[in-house]
Amino acid sequence: MNKINPLYLLGFFVFVAIFMIYKTSSTQEKIIIVTQNSIQKEINGKEIALLKKRWKDKKAMIGRLNTILTHKKFANKITKKEKKRGAYLIELQNLDYRTLDSFVNKILNEAIVIKKMKIERFSESNASVALECKL
């Protein structure tokens, strides 16, 4: 019977050790990438939840609309303001182009779900706006 050379055995164990170190380091890199992805998904989920909460909150939406409508530019131009089933209707009359531009900018820059917006121009300096917001 032949004996196994101890150098071959030592070489085999060194090779296995190097191979295991390589595999664990690549596995650690993969774990770091997966952890970063899960953290990013958690951040995105929280952001989406906050946005959903902001856009679905009916009371806050009505409050934002009332804040805009109580502004001194628009308060005396309102002809109709009513809540219907699932909607909030607003009509403004006799708006000049600067007031109209200001109103549209304020409405579009808020977190308000607009179902319908109708702008009618009667003359160079006179227009009306009918706005229907979803609640």
CB 26, CB 18: distance < 8 Å: no
- Give SS3 for 18: helix
So what's the pLDDT on residue 47? 94
d(CA 93, CA 79): 7
58-134 fold: Alpha-Beta Plaits (3.30.70)
For the stretch 109-130, pLDDT in tens is 888 888 999 999 888 888 899 9
> Are the beta carbons of 119 and 128 closer than 8 angstroms?
yes
Query: In this model, does residue 1 exceed pLDDT 70?
Result: no
